[in-house]
Amino acid sequence: MSVFSNLWTIKKYFNHLGSDIPAGIVVFFVAVPLCLGIALASGAPLFSGVIAGIVGGIIVGLLSGSQLGVSGPAAGVAVIVLTAIQDLGSYEVFLMAVVLAGFFQIALGVLRAGIIG
């Protein structure tokens, strides 16, 4: 890949920055109550809901590559998270399990073995 194609790839992310930032702020304010509610319902600390919303919004926004995208908390996950926290014994152990699962997913993606996941 040439330097110019790398610069073009970087530039395309900044073309619509003036409209993307206000749109992202609006979506963030809509998602905050949902993130807090799901964190509360799942037994996780409230701050974890805010962090999950911010990180999820940034990652999905940067990696999706689409002009339009909707992402946010799903209420069905609250029951799964609550059960996992209870089964594993603590929120910290649950976080470690999530991080390890993320590493496994990345490794399977790099190995082109996503069908296993």
List helix spans (H) across the chain: 3-14, 17-42, 46-63, 76-88, 91-110
pLDDT tops 60 at residue 7: no
Sequence ranges of the domains in the chain: 3-116
Indicate the pTM of the whole model: 0.66
Q: What is the pLDDT of residue 69?
A: 67
pLDDT in tens, 48-69: 888 888 877 777 766 766 666 6
Q: What is the pLDDT of residue 8?
A: 60
